[in-house]
Amino acid sequence: KIQPIYEPLNSSSAIALVNRLGLFTENSVLTCNEIGDGNLNYVFHIADTSSNRGVIIKQALPYAKVVGESWPLTLKRAVIEANALKIFGSFCPQLVPKVYYSDEQLAVTVMEDLSYLKISRKGLIAGEEYPLLSRHIGQYLAKTFFYTSDFYLEPGKKKDFAKQFTNPELCKITEDLVFTDPFFDAETNDFEKALTEAVKNLWSDERLKLEAAKLKKSFLTEQEVLLHGDLHTGSIFAGAQETKVIDPEFAFYGPAGFDLGLYFANLLFQAITRKGSSKEVIFTHLHDVWLTFEAEFSTLWKQESKEVYCKTEGYLEYTLQKIFTDALGFAGCELIRRTIGLAHVEDLDGISNEGERILAKKTALQLGRALIMNRQQEAKIESLTTIVKDQL
């Protein structure tokens, strides 16, 4: 058996790779920095010092960078990420970075440099408004959902398609860290002492756990659409005019409401932490993403669906209702797990005043619970904002 040739890149081998690919002119003077702030991968930024043009090389490591070599993790996620970027990019070229090259053996994706934009989580924390962000994400979700669903694809084709995106190891991370561990006294949990009572209340809430079990089952069993799988605001680059969705290494066929729910939840951290009128901007984002999604998805359904039942009265409304309800539940799980689970968000942890921070975290837990328990609402964005305003 021939061993696959894998080696973690360093600055000089990363530069050698882009030179081999001919991405820069021959007399370019290239610099290289590892800029990854994620937990699982290397991200190299390679730039030509004279033209300021750059490219990005993302490389999967055979273990989670944050934990070290004690947590091995499949390199296959690099191929999944590259293929997902290409597929999502074919539906929405404006909203996804261009992929210049990918190599399965080296577990690398070479892609468009988006350094001129800002990671939307950071921008939102800094008070940026991004008026187009949620409309773009609504379009992204409508297209990626519709074109990978049974409403558009032949069932056989969809199943073939789903095969290249069975992503068991990364799905397992979500199953554990989003749907299971935060609801039990698991070792991976990480929360401040002052939250102990609130957390114990959650662990002893059997009605909440029953609903979490149902949401986990939906994640485990429903192959509705090709999901991004990790669509939080740290996976989105934003600017005044542009939006780009990166980092789909968790892509797999799952319930459509999952991506939308993660996006809702990560906006909601801002609804919790912002003060006064700047909260309203976040409510506008929640409106924009749902209304844009609903309108675009409905248009695609009416114009391009191949499934015969798409002409049956009430089926579109049923489908939108299911996505909305699921999204509220998944948003609730995300709010809870980002507050007390293994992977936190800067929106909450970055609050330096302890009293304020604990209060914000308690609100996130309560809101998470409320969304899970009250998710059977009419699919209108006001249903969501009512639940949210009740808890803030």
Q: Which residues bind ligand ADP (CB under 6 A)?
A: 35-41, 43, 56, 58, 97, 111-115, 119, 235, 246-247, 249
212, interface contact from Mg ion, ligand ADP, none, CB < 5-8 Å by kind: none
Rule CB under 5 A: say whether 38 interacts with Mg ion.
Answer: yes
Minimum CB separation from ligand ADP for residue 2, in Å?
Answer: 28
> Applying CB under 5 A, which of residues 48, 103, 211, 247 lies at the interface with Mg ion?
247
Q: Which residues contact 182 (CB under 8 A, 6 or more apart)?
A: 189, 202, 333, 336, 337, 340, 341
CB closer to ligand ADP out of 118 and 357: 118
Collapsed DSSP state (helix, strand, coil) of residue 59: strand
Q: Which does 248 bind (CB under 5 to 8 A by kind): ligand ADP, Mg ion, none?
A: none
Q: Which is nearer to ligand ADP, 24 or 290 (CB)?
A: 24
Name the pairing type of β-strands 118-119 and 236-238: antiparallel
**Closest distance between Mg ion and the C-beta of residue 335, in Å?**
19
Stretch that binds Mg ion, among 31-39, 88-96, 370-378, 383-391 (CB under 5 A): 31-39
DSSP string, 3-33: PP------HHHHHHHHHHHT-S-TT--EEEE
Nearest distance from residue 270's CB to ligand ADP, in Å?
Answer: 17
Please give the angle made by the CA atoms of 342, 343 and 346, to the nearest 5 degrees: 140
Query: Which of Mg ion, ligand ADP, none is residue 56 near (CB under 5 to 8 Å by kind)?
Result: ligand ADP
CB of residue 98 vs ligand ADP: minimum separation in angstroms? Answer: 9
The interface partner of residue 129, options being Mg ion, ligand ADP, none and the CB cut-off 5 to 8 Å by kind, is none
Q: Which does 112 bind (CB under 5 to 8 A by kind): ligand ADP, Mg ion, none?
A: ligand ADP
For residue 179, what is the DSSP state? I
Looking at beta carbons only, is 23 or 198 nearer to ligand ADP?
Answer: 23
In what order do the strands lie in the sheet containing 243-245? 118-119, 236-238, 243-245
Helix (H) or strand (E) holding 152: none
User: Residue 217 corresponds to which amino acid?
Assistant: K
- Cα 280 from chain centroid (whole Å): 23
CB 335 within 8 A of CB 391: no
157 — alpha (psi -120 to 50), left (phi > 0) or beta? alpha
Q: How far is the CB of 363 from Mg ion (least distance, A)?
A: 24
CB nearer to ligand ADP: pick between 114 and 199 = 114
Q: Which is nearer to ligand ADP, 111 or 227 (CB)?
A: 111
234 binding Mg ion? (CB under 5 A):
yes
Nearest distance from C-beta of residue 120 to ligand ADP, angstroms: 10
Candidates 3, 26, 27, 37: give the one binding Mg ion (CB under 5 A). Answer: 37
Least Å from the CB of residue 265 to ligand ADP: 17
Structure tokens at 205: 């809430």
Measure Cα distances from 282 to 79, 232, 249 in Å: 35, 15, 27
Smallest gap from Cβ 110 to ligand ADP, in A, equals: 10
Query: What is the Cα 132 distance to its own chain's centre?
Result: 18
43 binds, among ligand ADP, Mg ion, none (CB under 5 to 8 A by kind): ligand ADP
Name the H helices within 7-132. Answer: 11-21, 77-91, 120-125
Residues of this chain that interact with Mg ion (CB under 5 A) are 37-38, 234, 247, 249
